[in-house]
């Protein structure tokens, strides 16, 4: 059976054709003589040749360069590039917009390829507004949006959530070895304030720390306003050191004092500690509900993390305007020695007109909690709930200022 080629070409087998013929037995350059080549090239103008050369280059780039870029894995980012790992997280439901920007519900940071960390309460807030996974977006100025593929785990005790995206980001931030006070210098909080990325520099010196968290004062810009409860949208943002390594994740705050979950606890969470595994369903509610039940159950234990669980559960109930009904949780945490709980319990007593406010505020002040130092000092300066002592009151307030507190 003939395969094409000139009629006078020898009929040779596929394994025995001469070097100057193709597999069909015809000449390799069949039908394309040197004269044909010369005439064709003369018909092409210099401009046409330039276009042809550019087209060939683009064709090669398309099939060689672009696939290599698409297959390249992202790597760790430096301190100067840290902003590329920090995204705002929001939903795309109608009516959830500020101006022409999607409503900013919180901040998230990339910690590995396609893996991101944020606060559990950020996802809970989005879910309470009816958002499903398919409606979640990660946004960053000058970049395409990322979409959420699945939520891997949630911990209401640590107030952390781990999720995976369909698309790759620009890179991730490494986790520091530890968050000891010897390393808590030259820190910055990275987050999206009302939808706009900001690097919030550390103010003053580090103050309070415990096995779960530490506090850091953040220099607050008056450009976006200041409020008790930190600045809107920074929840879930990382606290980074001078090397761009994560030493904590912002969760709760009082004025400009941010509470950061320590990187040691973050590592524990990534290892599955205090975490509920999610099934990757589009509906967030089942996993959040299971994590909530785990938090309630954890408060029945009698260890250090049960104290944290009581404090977290009270804050959740407070957000639901049920704080007064669950004040016993906060009191137990305060009595166990957790300084932030002592401060909040003192504030509750003040709101109720209870004269016992100073006692709890002073206990938290002695633990180097700057906002408690300021308020205990103010009580002494004015004689509220304690004998008036102007000198001691000023000393405590100055101490709070040195640690960065900005009332």
3-state secondary structure of 273: coil
Name 162's bridge partners: 117, 153
Per-residue pLDDT of the chain (407 residues; tens, 9 = 90+): 333 333 333 343 333 334 444 433 444 343 444 455 455 445 545 555 544 455 544 444 444 444 434 445 679 999 999 999 999 998 875 444 444 444 558 999 999 999 999 999 999 988 887 788 888 999 998 889 999 999 999 999 999 999 999 999 999 999 998 766 666 678 899 998 877 888 888 887 667 888 899 888 887 655 555 544 456 788 999 999 989 999 999 998 777 888 899 999 999 999 999 999 997 777 788 899 999 999 999 999 989 899 999 999 988 887 766 666 788 899 999 999 999 999 999 988 887 766 678 999 999 999 999 999 999 999 999 998 899 999 999 999 999 998 888 87
> Which tokens in the block code for residue 68?
């290599």
> Which tokens in the block code for residue 138?
């990660």
Rounded Cα–Cα distance for residues 308 and 74 (Å)? 35
The yes/no answer on whether domain 73-298 falls in CATH 2.40.10.120 is: yes
In CATH, the number for domain 300-402 is 1.25.40.10
User: For residue 289, how many other CB atoms are within 10 A of its CB?
Assistant: 12
Q: Where are the domains of the chain?
A: 1-29, 34-70, 73-298, 300-402
Question: Rounded to whole angstroms, what are the CA distances from 378 to 7, 228, 253, 319, 403?
Answer: 108, 18, 20, 27, 16
Rounded Cα–Cα distance for residues 354 and 344 (Å)? 13
CA nearest 101: which of 5, 197, 203? 197
């Amino acid at each position: 059976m003939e395969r094409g080629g000139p009629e006078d070409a020898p009929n040779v087998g596929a394994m025995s054709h001469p070097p100057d013929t193709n597999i069909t037995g015809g000449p390799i350059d069949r039908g394309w003589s040197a004269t044909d080549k010369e005439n064709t090239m003369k018909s092409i103008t210099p401009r046409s040749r330039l276009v042809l050369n550019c087209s060939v280059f683009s064709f090669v780039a398309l099939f060689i360069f672009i696939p290599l870029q698409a297959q390249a894995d992202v790597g760790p980012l430096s301190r100067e590039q840290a902003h590329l790992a920090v995204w705002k997280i929001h939903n795309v439901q109608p009516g959830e917009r500020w101006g022409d920007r999607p409503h900013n519900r919180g901040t998230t940071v990339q910690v590995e390829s396609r893996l991101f960390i944020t606060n559990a309460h950020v996802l809970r807030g989005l879910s309470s507004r009816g958002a499903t996974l398919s409606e979640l977006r990660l946004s960053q100025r000058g970049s395409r949006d990322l979409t959420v593929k699945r939520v891997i785990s949630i911990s209401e005790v640590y107030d952390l959530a781990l999720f995976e995206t369909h698309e790759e980001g620009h890179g991730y931030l490494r986790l520091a070895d530890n968050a000891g006070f010897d390393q808590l210098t030259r820190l910055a909080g990275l987050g999206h304030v009302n939808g706009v990325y900001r690097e919030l520099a550390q103010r003053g010196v580090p103050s309070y720390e415990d096995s779960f968290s530490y506090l850091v004062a953040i220099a607050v810009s008056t450009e976006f306003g200041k409020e008790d409860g930190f600045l809107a949208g920074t929840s879930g943002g990382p606290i980074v050191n001078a090397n761009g390594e994560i030493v904590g994740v912002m969760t709760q705050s009082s004025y400009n004092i941010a509470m950061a979950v320590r990187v040691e606890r973050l590592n524990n969470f990534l290892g599955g500690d205090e975490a509920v595994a999610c099934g990757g369903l589009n509906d967030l509610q089942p996993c959040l509900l299971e994590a909530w039940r785990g938090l309630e159950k954890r408060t029945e234990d009698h260890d250090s993390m049960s104290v944290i669980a009581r404090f977290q559960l009270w804050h959740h109930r407070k957000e639901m305007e049920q704080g007064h009904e669950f004040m016993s949780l906060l009191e137990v945490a305060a009595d166990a020695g957790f300084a932030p709980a002592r401060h909040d319990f003192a504030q509750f007593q003040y709101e109720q007109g209870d004269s016992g406010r100073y006692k709890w505020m002073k206990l938290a002040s002695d633990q180097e909690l700057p906002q408690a130092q300021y308020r205990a000092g103010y009580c002494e300066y004015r004689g509220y709930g304690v004998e008036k002592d102007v000198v001691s009151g000023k000393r405590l307030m100055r101490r709070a200022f040195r640690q960065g507190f900005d009332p």
